[in-house]
């Protein structure tokens, strides 16, 4: 059984909570797009942990996978693994797998994201995690893949061809000398890469085998439908495809395999960052929704813009995702 779950609005619909409810039924919980721009909060007793890259449902028995369509910041991943280990949740290579082809978010991607947002007169309000620039490198075939950072020699070979052009870009966009030093600081990445090597896997192969054996797979979308890079509210979108069809493409699972598509809907609407929000309400009511709903971004802490439930927007999301 293959189930896909996506946010039907602008993200932050509470997908993490729903995945938590469903996780017990699944053998696999898989991320197929996005990066550490996403975020969900896990509460264990009195402890609160904020996660950005590890899929929801980490507290259950499901195996967690990071698909090759994700952009992965290895330093963030390492921190999350450590914080989970600290509270006694064992993240070994039975629990977690990362596809060898996953694009790595490099320090220069984060810098370029910051600099381009600074140069824009019309801001997007990105999370400044380097998401767009990591995806640009995938498409322009200048990416560093997860497998590359697990081996120093192949990493150095690859990066030597990439550094010169990134330097030109950074300088043209106003990077300072210290920005440039930080942008090409790779020691931590290589150290973490070596440590994370044990998680390496082939997600498409694993999932196809699992589905053939009748196992239950849940593909968990990040962000929300109207932040989709093709079907969303350009230019105020994220840099990946967030709708259900994206799961098949990004995971390497054929569309005939899909059994269920679940959409998560919040009874009101929120948006973090710039862009249209036709039903936005300001003043006292907006403030009330924000306070009651705890509507502050998990990743950036920014207050979310709040508004009334938007039926036409949901109708469009139903079509884009084919919710069952
Ligand atoms: P980026 O993904 O950091 O490039 O940000 C692009 C837009 O998507 C900005 O408006 C962000 O606020 C928004 N965004 C990115 N990730 C999330 C998320 O997980 N939830 C809600 N909004 C997000
Ligand atoms: Mg979130």
Domain shared by 281 and 250, yes or no:
no
Spatial neighbors of 199 by CB under 8 A, at least 6 apart, are 93, 96, 97, 98
Domain shared by 124 and 251, yes or no:
no
Query: Which H or E run contains 87?
Result: none
Q: Final residue of a domain: which of 196, 217, 248?
A: 196
pLDDT at 40: 87
Q: Final residue of a domain: which of 145, 178, 196?
A: 196
| 153 CA distance to ligand 2 middle (Å) | 36
pLDDT at 20: 84
Between β-strands 103-104 and 63-66, what pairing exists: parallel, antiparallel or unpaired?
Answer: unpaired
How many structural domains compose the chain? 3
Domain shared by 124 and 49, yes or no:
no
* Ranges of residues in the chain whose predicted pLDDT is under 50: none
pLDDT at 48: 84
CATH number of the CATH domain containing 205: 3.40.440.10
Domain shared by 123 and 145, yes or no:
yes
Domain shared by 96 and 229, yes or no:
yes
| β-pair partners for 30 | 65, 219
Residue with tokens 């009651």: 292
CATH number of the CATH domain containing 121: 1.10.300.10
Per-residue pLDDT of 31-88, as tens digits, reads: 999 999 999 888 878 888 889 999 988 888 999 999 999 999 999 999 999 999 998 9
Q: Which of 20, 27, 36, 40 is catalytic?
A: 40
Here the tokens at position 92 are 């070994």
Q: Is 162 exposed, middle or buried (0-12, 13-18, 19+ CB in 10 A)?
A: middle
Biggest CA–CA distance in the chain, Å, is 58
Domain shared by 234 and 286, yes or no:
no
| 10 CA distance to ligand 2 middle (Å) | 10
Domain shared by 165 and 291, yes or no:
no
User: Hey, is 94 helix, strand or coil?
Assistant: coil
Question: Among this protein's residues, is 40 annotated catalytic?
Answer: yes
Which ligand minimizes its atom distance to the CA of 224? 1
Q: Final residue of a domain: which of 221, 236, 264?
A: 264
pLDDT at 57: 83
pLDDT at 230: 98
**Ligand 1 atom 8 nearest Cα:** 238
The domain in which residue 152 lies consists of 103-196
């Amino acid at each position: 059984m293959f189930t896909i779950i996506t946010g039907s609005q602008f993200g932050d619909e509470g997908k993490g909570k729903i995945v938590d409810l469903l996780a017990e039924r699944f053998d696999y919980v898989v991320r197929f797009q996005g990066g550490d721009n996403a975020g969900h909060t896990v509460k264990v007793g009195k402890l609160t942990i904020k996660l950005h890259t590890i899929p929801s449902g980490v507290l259950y028995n499901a195996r967690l996978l990071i698909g090759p369509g994700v952009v992965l910041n290895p330093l963030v991943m390492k921190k999350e693994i450590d914080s989970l280990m600290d509270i006694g949740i064992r993240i070994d290579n039975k629990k977690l797998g990362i596809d060898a082809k996953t694009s790595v978010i490099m320090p220069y991607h984060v810098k370029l994201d910051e600099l381009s947002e600074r140069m824009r007169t019309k801001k997007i309000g990105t999370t400044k995690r380097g998401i767009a620039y990591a995806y640009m490198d995938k498409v322009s075939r200048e990416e560093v893949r997860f497998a590359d950072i697990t081996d120093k020699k192949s990493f150095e070979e690859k990066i030597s061809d990439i550094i010169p052009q990134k330097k030109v870009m950074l300088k043209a966009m106003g990077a300072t000398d210290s920005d440039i030093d930080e942008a090409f600081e790779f020691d931590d990445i290589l150290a973490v890469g070596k440590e994370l090597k044990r998680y390496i896997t082939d997600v498409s192969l694993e999932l196809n085998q699992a589905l053939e054996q009748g196992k239950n797979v849940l593909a968990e979308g990040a962000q929300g439908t109207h932040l989709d890079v093709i079907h969303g509210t350009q230019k105020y979108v994220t840099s990946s495809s967030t709708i259900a069809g994206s799961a098949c493409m990004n995971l390497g699972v054929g569309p005939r395999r899909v059994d269920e598509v679940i959409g998560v809907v919040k009874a009101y609407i929120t948006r973090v960052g710039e862009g249209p929000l036709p039903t936005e309400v300001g003043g006292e009511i907006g403030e009330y929704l924000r306070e009651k709903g705890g509507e502050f971004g998990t990743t950036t802490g920014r207050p979310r813009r709040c508004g009334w439930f938007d039926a036409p927007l949901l109708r469009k999301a139903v079509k884009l995702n084919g919710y069952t």
